[in-house]
Every structure is written in structure tokens, then in C-alpha cells.
Amino acid sequence: MKVAICDDSEQDIADLKEKLLKIIEGQIENCEINVYTDVTKFLKEIHTISFDGIFLDIDMPQMTGIQAAQRVREALPDVGLVFVSSCESMVFEAIKTTPLRFIRKARLEEELEEAVTALLNRYHSLKNYYDFCVNGNTVRLKLSEIYYFESAKHYVKIKTLQEDYMVRAKMADLEQIFNEKGFVRVQSG
């Protein structure tokens, strides 16, 4: 699971990260938390890193968290977005970006655990997806939309209803990954 925290306060980031790690510990095997104090850098990285959850402050100097959330939604429409803010009056404006939760910084202790539980539930339900590296970009595909994999020299073609994707991979490696997800290799060679 990949999580991002974007807040202009390094202290708030450190507090949130520490509390997140305590809550997540033992609930999920791998959790990578990336932190950002610069919203511009964060917005550049959402195009190369496929985050499962984003904790975003609203009151930041370069742009508001709501403006950033609108850009996040364009790049990652399914991401679990959680606002963590002191600007309680902005909750109704924040709803327009369909956040998973809105946590008040003054009540972080009480509200964080429930938000993380909701985020983990969302993450587990999205395990029906798989991230592929296509031309240096991460593409998340729903497993039910993948028709088949086909070997093509040093690449594997992923056939879906909307589009075909070429990934540099070995069929044997994909077979190991997707065998437990209900895919069966019907031909070799």
C-alpha cells in the first residue's frame, strides 16, 4: 500500500506519519508513506506513483488542498482521499472532491483511526486491481476487465475491452502472479 501525506507543516506531517504507522502496524504487510511539504512536487509525483491513499491539508501557501484534490482526482480518480485540516469551515467545499474522510487536526487522535480503517477497507476491496508499468507510467487495471495476456517477444500484451497494453515482462512471471487471481495459462510456446 502506498500513502502520501501533503502538508506545509513538517511537524504536522511527522505527527500524522507516526500515528498512521501505529494504526497500520500489523494490519497490512507493506506500507510505504511518502511525505511532501511542497504541493507542486506532490502533484508532479501523482503521475508516476500510484497512491492508494492521500492525506491532504487544506490550508497551504502555494494552492489550497481542495485545488490540489481536484488535480488528484483527474490523475487518480479512485484514490482514497482524506483531508486533515484545521479549516473545519471548508468541509462542505471539500466534499466536492469526494474525499473518503475529513479529519479535524484538533481531533486527530479521535478521528484518524476510523479514517484509516475506511482507507484499509477501500484498499482491500481494490485488490481486484493490479498496477502495471507501461512506458514508465503506472496503469491500474481492474482484473475483471483483463481478457488475456499474450506473449510478444520480450513483451506481454494485456488485452482489455478498452485498450491493449504492452508491458516488458516474462509470461512465467505474470503466470505466478495471476495464477492465484483466477487466470490460467492455456498454451505455452
Q: pLDDT value at position 27? A: 80
Q: List, run by run, the mean pLDDT of 10-residue segments along the chain (189 residues).
A: 95 96 83 94 92 94 94 91 92 92 95 94 76 84 87 89 90 84 75
Closest by Cα among 46, 62, 59 to 93: 59
Give the integer Cα–Cα distance in Å for 76 and 52: 9
Q: pLDDT value at position 189? A: 56
Provide the residue type at 154 as one letter.
Answer: H
Is 123 in contact with 80 (CB distance < 8 Å)?
A: yes
Q: Give the tens place of pLDDT for each residue, 163-172.
A: 999 999 888 8
Q: Which pTM value belongs to this model?
A: 0.69
Mode of pairing for the β-strands spanning 80-85 and 101-104: parallel
CB neighbourhood size of 46 (10 A): 20
